[in-house]
Amino acid sequence: MDKELIAPCGMNCGVCYAYLREKNKCPGCRGPDDDKSISCIRCKIKNCKEIKRKKLKFCFECASVPCEPLKRLDKRYKGKYHMSMVENLDFIKDKGIKKFLKWQGKKYSCACGGTICTHNGKCNDCGAIKELD
């Protein structure tokens, strides 16, 4: 797990399908826009004026957290992918990025040593499926 792959919203891009795929691999939210989907390029959170103006690393550093775009993203990810951006941000704020990365490493590691994708629950290396809570 790499701290540069943790998006301002708390998404761990290292477990995202777009990052894990072989072709047109996304570099993560903090990376260049070259191989990103249009929805990632236009992301309201990544392009938030407060984040850019104040040069914030994470949304929890903003006085407006959780904003409406973050609430919508959190609701969608909790319902579909068993991941909460708000919980991730709270974890980082309370325990720090190193402990967050360690926790994510355990949560998304396969027995084979590969990475489990948050979007489909499959190991990127062996294809095993892991139930994510």
Question: For residue 94, how many other CB atoms are within 10 A of its CB?
Answer: 10
Distance between CA atoms of residues 107 and 105, nearest Å: 6
Name the phi and psi angles at 115, rounded to 5.
Answer: -110, 130
Specify the pLDDT at position 10. 97
How many residues in total does the chain contain?
A: 133
Nearest to 30 by CA among 17, 45, 20, 38: 45
Distance between CA atoms of residues 72 and 109, nearest Å: 27
pTM for this prediction: 0.91
**Regions of the chain short of the pLDDT cut 70:** 133
Specify the pLDDT at position 126. 95
Quick: pLDDT tens for 34-58: 878 888 889 999 899 998 899 999 9
CA triple 40-41-46, angle to 5 deg: 75
Specify the pLDDT at position 98. 97
Q: Is there a contact between 59 and 73 (Cβ–Cβ < 8 Å)?
A: no
Q: Where are the alpha helices (DSSP H) in 8-55?
A: 17-20, 38-41, 49-54
Specify the pLDDT at position 92. 98
CA triple 12-59-22, angle to 5 deg: 25
